[in-house]
Amino acid sequence: MPHSDDPAQMTAMLAKAETLVEALPYLQRYAGRTFVVKYGGHAMGDPDLAHDFAQDVVLLKAVGINPVVVHGGGPQIGAMLKKLGVESTFVDGLRVTDKATAEVAEMVLSGAINKEIVRWIAGAGGKAIGISGKDGGLVTATKVQRTTKDPGSNIEQVLDLGFVGEPKAVDSTVIKTISDAGMIPVIAPIAVGEDGETYNINADTMAGAIAAALGAARLFLLTDVAGVLDKEKQLLTDLRPADIERLQSDGTISGGMIPKLETCIHAVEAGCEAAVVLDGRVPHAMLLEIFTERGAGTLIRA
Protein backbone atom coordinates (compact mmCIF):
# COMPACT_ATOMS: atom_id res chain seq x y z
CA MET A 1 0.00 0.00 0.00
CA PRO A 2 1.48 3.44 -0.93
CA HIS A 3 2.44 5.78 1.91
CA SER A 4 -0.09 8.58 2.53
CA ASP A 5 1.03 12.22 2.90
CA ASP A 6 -2.52 13.38 3.67
CA PRO A 7 -2.68 14.15 7.46
CA ALA A 8 -6.45 13.51 7.63
CA GLN A 9 -6.08 10.14 5.90
CA MET A 10 -3.16 9.25 8.19
CA THR A 11 -5.28 10.12 11.28
CA ALA A 12 -8.09 7.88 10.01
CA MET A 13 -5.63 5.03 9.37
CA LEU A 14 -4.16 5.39 12.87
CA ALA A 15 -7.68 5.33 14.38
CA LYS A 16 -8.31 2.03 12.55
CA ALA A 17 -5.05 0.60 13.89
CA GLU A 18 -5.94 1.70 17.44
CA THR A 19 -9.35 0.03 17.11
CA LEU A 20 -7.65 -3.24 16.16
CA VAL A 21 -5.24 -2.92 19.10
CA GLU A 22 -8.17 -2.23 21.48
CA ALA A 23 -9.81 -5.43 20.22
CA LEU A 24 -6.69 -7.58 20.80
CA PRO A 25 -7.32 -8.66 24.44
CA TYR A 26 -10.90 -9.62 23.53
CA LEU A 27 -9.73 -11.58 20.47
CA GLN A 28 -7.30 -13.47 22.72
CA ARG A 29 -9.94 -14.05 25.42
CA TYR A 30 -12.56 -15.49 23.05
CA ALA A 31 -10.40 -17.45 20.58
CA GLY A 32 -11.88 -20.94 20.20
CA ARG A 33 -14.99 -20.07 22.25
CA THR A 34 -18.64 -20.22 21.16
CA PHE A 35 -21.10 -17.32 20.83
CA VAL A 36 -24.81 -18.10 20.42
CA VAL A 37 -26.71 -15.31 18.69
CA LYS A 38 -30.51 -15.03 18.61
CA TYR A 39 -31.35 -13.07 15.48
CA GLY A 40 -34.81 -11.64 14.80
CA GLY A 41 -37.01 -8.59 15.05
CA HIS A 42 -36.54 -5.41 13.02
CA ALA A 43 -32.91 -6.21 12.12
CA MET A 44 -34.07 -9.31 10.24
CA GLY A 45 -36.41 -7.35 7.97
CA ASP A 46 -33.91 -4.60 7.06
CA PRO A 47 -31.53 -5.59 4.17
CA ASP A 48 -28.76 -3.20 5.34
CA LEU A 49 -28.87 -4.52 8.91
CA ALA A 50 -29.06 -8.11 7.64
CA HIS A 51 -25.92 -7.45 5.58
CA ASP A 52 -24.15 -5.96 8.64
CA PHE A 53 -25.22 -8.93 10.76
CA ALA A 54 -23.86 -11.42 8.21
CA GLN A 55 -20.53 -9.54 8.05
CA ASP A 56 -20.27 -9.59 11.87
CA VAL A 57 -20.89 -13.34 12.04
CA VAL A 58 -18.34 -14.05 9.27
CA LEU A 59 -15.78 -11.80 11.01
CA LEU A 60 -16.26 -13.69 14.31
CA LYS A 61 -15.62 -16.99 12.51
CA ALA A 62 -12.55 -15.53 10.75
CA VAL A 63 -10.92 -14.48 14.07
CA GLY A 64 -11.35 -17.93 15.62
CA ILE A 65 -14.68 -17.54 17.47
CA ASN A 66 -17.47 -20.05 16.75
CA PRO A 67 -20.78 -18.24 16.13
CA VAL A 68 -24.04 -20.21 16.30
CA VAL A 69 -27.11 -18.38 14.94
CA VAL A 70 -30.65 -19.16 16.19
CA HIS A 71 -33.37 -17.18 14.39
CA GLY A 72 -36.99 -16.29 14.94
CA GLY A 73 -39.66 -15.28 12.45
CA GLY A 74 -42.96 -14.43 14.17
CA PRO A 75 -43.95 -11.59 11.78
CA GLN A 76 -43.11 -13.71 8.71
CA ILE A 77 -45.19 -16.63 10.07
CA GLY A 78 -48.08 -14.21 10.71
CA ALA A 79 -47.84 -12.85 7.15
CA MET A 80 -47.81 -16.35 5.61
CA LEU A 81 -50.78 -17.52 7.74
CA LYS A 82 -52.72 -14.47 6.53
CA LYS A 83 -51.76 -15.19 2.91
CA LEU A 84 -52.91 -18.81 3.22
CA GLY A 85 -56.10 -17.81 5.05
CA VAL A 86 -55.19 -19.70 8.24
CA GLU A 87 -56.81 -18.02 11.27
CA SER A 88 -54.62 -17.38 14.35
CA THR A 89 -55.90 -17.20 17.90
CA PHE A 90 -53.94 -15.84 20.86
CA VAL A 91 -54.24 -16.67 24.57
CA ASP A 92 -52.41 -14.36 26.99
CA GLY A 93 -50.29 -13.07 24.09
CA LEU A 94 -49.22 -16.55 22.98
CA ARG A 95 -50.20 -17.87 19.55
CA VAL A 96 -52.24 -21.09 19.75
CA THR A 97 -50.51 -23.41 17.29
CA ASP A 98 -52.78 -26.04 15.74
CA LYS A 99 -51.58 -28.61 13.18
CA ALA A 100 -52.04 -26.25 10.20
CA THR A 101 -50.25 -23.37 11.96
CA ALA A 102 -47.38 -25.67 13.02
CA GLU A 103 -46.90 -26.78 9.40
CA VAL A 104 -46.80 -23.16 8.19
CA ALA A 105 -44.37 -22.20 11.00
CA GLU A 106 -42.00 -25.01 10.01
CA MET A 107 -42.24 -24.10 6.32
CA VAL A 108 -41.42 -20.43 6.99
CA LEU A 109 -38.77 -20.94 9.69
CA SER A 110 -36.89 -23.97 8.33
CA GLY A 111 -37.43 -22.92 4.71
CA ALA A 112 -37.55 -19.29 3.57
CA ILE A 113 -36.01 -17.53 6.60
CA ASN A 114 -33.34 -20.12 7.37
CA LYS A 115 -32.03 -20.23 3.80
CA GLU A 116 -32.18 -16.43 3.48
CA ILE A 117 -29.78 -16.09 6.46
CA VAL A 118 -27.51 -18.78 4.97
CA ARG A 119 -27.50 -16.74 1.72
CA TRP A 120 -26.61 -13.49 3.55
CA ILE A 121 -23.67 -15.22 5.30
CA ALA A 122 -22.46 -16.69 1.98
CA GLY A 123 -22.68 -13.20 0.45
CA ALA A 124 -20.38 -11.91 3.22
CA GLY A 125 -17.81 -14.60 2.40
CA GLY A 126 -18.75 -17.20 5.02
CA LYS A 127 -20.02 -20.77 4.87
CA ALA A 128 -23.24 -21.54 6.74
CA ILE A 129 -25.43 -24.61 7.07
CA GLY A 130 -29.12 -24.18 7.84
CA ILE A 131 -30.71 -26.74 10.15
CA SER A 132 -33.55 -26.95 12.68
CA GLY A 133 -33.77 -28.52 16.12
CA LYS A 134 -34.95 -31.69 14.35
CA ASP A 135 -31.60 -32.28 12.59
CA GLY A 136 -29.17 -34.69 14.20
CA GLY A 137 -31.45 -34.94 17.26
CA LEU A 138 -30.30 -31.43 18.25
CA VAL A 139 -33.30 -30.51 20.43
CA THR A 140 -35.96 -32.70 22.01
CA ALA A 141 -39.06 -30.66 22.81
CA THR A 142 -41.72 -30.94 25.44
CA LYS A 143 -45.18 -29.39 25.14
CA VAL A 144 -45.53 -26.01 26.88
CA GLN A 145 -47.95 -26.07 29.80
CA ARG A 146 -49.55 -22.78 30.83
CA THR A 147 -52.27 -21.99 33.33
CA THR A 148 -54.49 -18.93 33.63
CA LYS A 149 -56.95 -17.77 36.29
CA ASP A 150 -60.58 -17.36 35.29
CA PRO A 151 -61.37 -13.73 36.32
CA GLY A 152 -64.92 -14.64 37.40
CA SER A 153 -64.35 -17.76 39.51
CA ASN A 154 -60.60 -17.29 40.21
CA ILE A 155 -60.16 -20.98 39.33
CA GLU A 156 -56.90 -21.94 37.57
CA GLN A 157 -57.44 -23.36 34.10
CA VAL A 158 -54.90 -25.21 31.92
CA LEU A 159 -54.26 -23.49 28.58
CA ASP A 160 -53.75 -25.74 25.57
CA LEU A 161 -51.48 -23.85 23.18
CA GLY A 162 -51.30 -26.77 20.74
CA PHE A 163 -47.93 -27.48 19.17
CA VAL A 164 -45.92 -24.94 21.16
CA GLY A 165 -42.91 -26.51 22.83
CA GLU A 166 -39.85 -25.76 24.89
CA PRO A 167 -36.45 -27.52 24.86
CA LYS A 168 -36.27 -30.53 27.15
CA ALA A 169 -32.86 -31.82 26.03
CA VAL A 170 -30.09 -30.56 23.74
CA ASP A 171 -27.57 -32.82 21.97
CA SER A 172 -25.00 -30.39 20.56
CA THR A 173 -23.07 -32.99 18.46
CA VAL A 174 -24.38 -31.66 15.14
CA ILE A 175 -23.46 -28.04 16.07
CA LYS A 176 -19.91 -29.05 17.03
CA THR A 177 -19.54 -31.05 13.79
CA ILE A 178 -20.59 -28.03 11.67
CA SER A 179 -18.40 -25.58 13.64
CA ASP A 180 -15.35 -27.88 13.55
CA ALA A 181 -15.73 -28.10 9.76
CA GLY A 182 -15.25 -24.32 9.57
CA MET A 183 -18.92 -23.54 8.97
CA ILE A 184 -21.59 -21.54 10.81
CA PRO A 185 -24.75 -23.31 12.04
CA VAL A 186 -28.00 -21.39 11.41
CA ILE A 187 -30.80 -22.95 13.47
CA ALA A 188 -34.59 -22.70 13.08
CA PRO A 189 -36.53 -23.09 16.38
CA ILE A 190 -38.47 -26.23 15.42
CA ALA A 191 -38.02 -29.56 17.24
CA VAL A 192 -39.53 -33.01 17.67
CA GLY A 193 -41.15 -34.02 20.95
CA GLU A 194 -40.84 -37.41 22.63
CA ASP A 195 -44.35 -38.04 21.26
CA GLY A 196 -43.00 -37.71 17.70
CA GLU A 197 -44.91 -34.46 17.05
CA THR A 198 -43.31 -31.28 15.64
CA TYR A 199 -43.21 -28.29 18.01
CA ASN A 200 -42.62 -24.60 17.42
CA ILE A 201 -40.27 -23.13 20.08
CA ASN A 202 -39.73 -19.49 21.04
CA ALA A 203 -36.39 -18.48 19.46
CA ASP A 204 -35.07 -16.78 22.63
CA THR A 205 -35.79 -19.92 24.65
CA MET A 206 -34.16 -22.14 22.01
CA ALA A 207 -31.04 -19.93 21.89
CA GLY A 208 -30.76 -19.94 25.69
CA ALA A 209 -30.98 -23.74 25.92
CA ILE A 210 -28.36 -24.16 23.17
CA ALA A 211 -26.01 -21.59 24.79
CA ALA A 212 -26.24 -23.47 28.11
CA ALA A 213 -25.61 -26.86 26.48
CA LEU A 214 -22.56 -25.52 24.61
CA GLY A 215 -21.14 -23.71 27.66
CA ALA A 216 -21.05 -20.64 25.41
CA ALA A 217 -18.92 -17.62 26.33
CA ARG A 218 -21.82 -15.38 25.30
CA LEU A 219 -25.53 -15.53 24.47
CA PHE A 220 -26.64 -12.49 22.46
CA LEU A 221 -30.34 -11.66 22.24
CA LEU A 222 -30.71 -9.09 19.45
CA THR A 223 -33.88 -7.07 20.10
CA ASP A 224 -35.65 -3.89 18.99
CA VAL A 225 -34.64 -1.90 22.10
CA ALA A 226 -31.30 -0.55 23.37
CA GLY A 227 -31.20 -3.13 26.19
CA VAL A 228 -32.61 -3.00 29.72
CA LEU A 229 -33.49 0.57 30.67
CA ASP A 230 -33.99 2.13 34.11
CA LYS A 231 -36.95 4.38 35.00
CA GLU A 232 -35.13 7.40 33.46
CA LYS A 233 -34.72 5.39 30.21
CA GLN A 234 -30.96 5.10 30.73
CA LEU A 235 -29.23 1.86 29.70
CA LEU A 236 -28.37 -0.56 32.52
CA THR A 237 -25.10 -2.15 31.40
CA ASP A 238 -24.51 -4.85 34.03
CA LEU A 239 -27.11 -6.97 35.85
CA ARG A 240 -27.22 -10.01 38.14
CA PRO A 241 -30.31 -12.19 38.72
CA ALA A 242 -31.02 -10.41 42.06
CA ASP A 243 -31.00 -7.00 40.27
CA ILE A 244 -33.45 -8.31 37.68
CA GLU A 245 -35.80 -9.59 40.40
CA ARG A 246 -35.73 -6.16 42.10
CA LEU A 247 -36.31 -4.26 38.84
CA GLN A 248 -39.20 -6.56 37.96
CA SER A 249 -40.88 -6.17 41.35
CA ASP A 250 -40.71 -2.34 41.21
CA GLY A 251 -42.09 -2.29 37.65
CA THR A 252 -38.91 -1.04 35.89
CA ILE A 253 -38.85 -4.22 33.78
CA SER A 254 -42.16 -5.26 32.25
CA GLY A 255 -43.84 -6.76 29.18
CA GLY A 256 -41.77 -8.65 26.63
CA MET A 257 -38.48 -7.91 28.40
CA ILE A 258 -39.42 -10.26 31.31
CA PRO A 259 -39.30 -13.55 29.31
CA LYS A 260 -36.08 -12.39 27.58
CA LEU A 261 -34.37 -11.81 30.93
CA GLU A 262 -35.73 -15.10 32.30
CA THR A 263 -34.07 -16.82 29.31
CA CYS A 264 -30.78 -15.03 30.11
CA ILE A 265 -30.93 -16.07 33.78
CA HIS A 266 -31.67 -19.72 32.89
CA ALA A 267 -28.78 -19.73 30.40
CA VAL A 268 -26.17 -18.23 32.75
CA GLU A 269 -27.25 -20.46 35.64
CA ALA A 270 -27.01 -23.56 33.41
CA GLY A 271 -23.52 -23.07 31.96
CA CYS A 272 -23.37 -20.04 29.66
CA GLU A 273 -20.80 -17.48 30.95
CA ALA A 274 -22.85 -14.34 30.25
CA ALA A 275 -25.84 -13.15 28.25
CA VAL A 276 -26.32 -9.81 26.52
CA VAL A 277 -29.55 -8.04 25.52
CA LEU A 278 -28.55 -5.90 22.56
CA ASP A 279 -30.16 -3.50 20.06
CA GLY A 280 -30.16 -5.31 16.70
CA ARG A 281 -31.07 -2.05 14.93
CA VAL A 282 -27.60 -0.59 15.64
CA PRO A 283 -25.12 -1.47 12.86
CA HIS A 284 -22.41 -3.87 14.13
CA ALA A 285 -23.81 -3.70 17.70
CA MET A 286 -22.43 -7.18 18.41
CA LEU A 287 -18.87 -6.14 17.51
CA LEU A 288 -19.16 -3.00 19.65
CA GLU A 289 -20.30 -5.14 22.59
CA ILE A 290 -17.56 -7.76 22.20
CA PHE A 291 -14.51 -5.79 21.14
CA THR A 292 -14.77 -2.43 22.92
CA GLU A 293 -14.30 -1.50 26.58
CA ARG A 294 -17.63 0.37 26.78
CA GLY A 295 -19.88 -2.34 25.32
CA ALA A 296 -23.26 -1.67 23.73
CA GLY A 297 -26.00 -3.56 25.60
CA THR A 298 -27.04 -5.04 28.95
CA LEU A 299 -24.77 -7.82 30.22
CA ILE A 300 -26.30 -10.47 32.52
CA ARG A 301 -24.04 -12.68 34.64
CA ALA A 302 -24.82 -15.30 37.28
Tens of pLDDT, residues 93-133:
667 899 999 999 999 999 999 999 999 999 999 999 999 99
In a domain, 12, yes or no: no
Please check whether residues 271 and 232 belong to one and the same domain.
yes
Please check whether residues 194 and 246 belong to one and the same domain.
no
Q: How many domains does the chain have?
A: 2
Contacts 24+ apart (CB under 8 A), 233-242: 235/297, 235/298, 236/298, 237/295, 237/297, 237/298, 237/299, 238/298, 238/299, 238/301, 239/298, 239/299, 239/300, 239/301, 240/300, 240/301, 240/302, 241/265, 241/268, 241/269, 241/300, 241/302
pLDDT given for residue 221 in this prediction: 95
Please check whether residues 302 and 265 belong to one and the same domain.
yes
Please check whether residues 103 and 79 belong to one and the same domain.
yes
Please check whether residues 73 and 189 belong to one and the same domain.
yes
Please check whether residues 94 and 130 belong to one and the same domain.
yes
Helical ranges in the chain per DSSP H: 7-30, 42-45, 47-62, 74-84, 99-106, 114-123, 173-180, 203-214, 241-249, 257-269, 285-291
The torsion angle over the Cα atoms of residues 286, 291, 294 and 298, rounded to 10 degrees, is: 40
Q: How many CB atoms lie within 10 A of CB 280?
A: 27
> For position 167, which CATH number holds?
3.40.1160.10
Please check whether residues 141 and 219 belong to one and the same domain.
no
| Segment 261-300, tens digit of pLDDT | 999 999 999 999 999 999 988 899 899 888 877 678 899 9
pLDDT given for residue 93 in this prediction: 64
Please check whether residues 77 and 197 belong to one and the same domain.
yes
pLDDT given for residue 71 in this prediction: 96
Q: Which domain holds residue 225?
A: 215-302
In a domain, 56, yes or no: no
Please check whether residues 159 and 73 belong to one and the same domain.
yes
pLDDT given for residue 1 in this prediction: 54
Low pLDDT (below 50) residues in the chain = none
For residues 139 and 172, give the distance between their C-alpha atoms in angstroms, rounded to a whole number.
8
Please check whether residues 186 and 247 belong to one and the same domain.
no
In a domain, 259, yes or no: yes
Mark which of 171, 201, 231 sits at the end of a domain: 201
pLDDT given for residue 53 in this prediction: 95
In a domain, 231, yes or no: yes
Please check whether residues 173 and 197 belong to one and the same domain.
yes
